[in-house]
Amino acid sequence: MGRRLRVDKREYHLPNGTHVEKVAVHPGNAVAILPFRADGACYLIRQYRFVIGDYILEAPAGTLNPGEGPLDAARRELIEETGFQAETFIPRGSIYTTPGFSDEIIHLYEAHGLTPSCLYQKDEDEIIELVRVEREDLPDMIGDGRICDAKTISIICRCIGASR
């Protein structure tokens, strides 16, 4: 179907004995990273998403390459989307994005010790702007809808909640 997307329609056997025919989407797994600066602020990206025809604020994120582990993907994606590498990555669990029809898992990481990377090269098919956000502003930005991306809301809750 695409470079990484597979869709299938098959019969599933439910725990109650019912048999149903359903469509399942298998996009592969991904990572999302919330990178924190030394001053406590963090970086989000403002990215154009063609499917919704608009820009949204989100955590740097991306898909795992074949044979790549989540931590290696997080290191690579942080550089690709922000231009920074991190000294420390703290795993913050994982989430299912849309378990009603997809098996995608996004692994969440908090990153610290940011320094500019000499490996930074912007992808031509992405329109991204780096946005500095104060840590204390994140809950209000979720509450008022400025942050509406599910993976970003999840990683903010995991990182902010973990530090309280």
Walk along the chain (164 residues) in steps of 10 and give the mean pLDDT of each run: 74 91 87 97 95 95 95 96 96 94 95 88 78 96 96 95 58
User: How many Cα atoms occupy the beta-carbon half-sphere of 119 within 13 Å?
Assistant: 11
Please tell me the pTM assigned to this model.
Answer: 0.90
How many Å apart are CA 159 and CA 164, to the nearest integer?
Answer: 9
pLDDT, position 1: 45
Q: Are 130 and 37 in contact (CB under 8 A)?
A: no
Model confidence pLDDT, tens digit, residues 135-146: 999 999 999 999
Burial 98-129 (b: 16+ CB within 10 A, else e): eeeebebbbbbbbbeebeebeeeeeeeeeebe
- Domains with residue ranges and CATH for the chain: 28-162 (3.90.79.10)
Catalytic residue among 124, 126, 134, 136: 124
Known catalytic residue at 124: yes
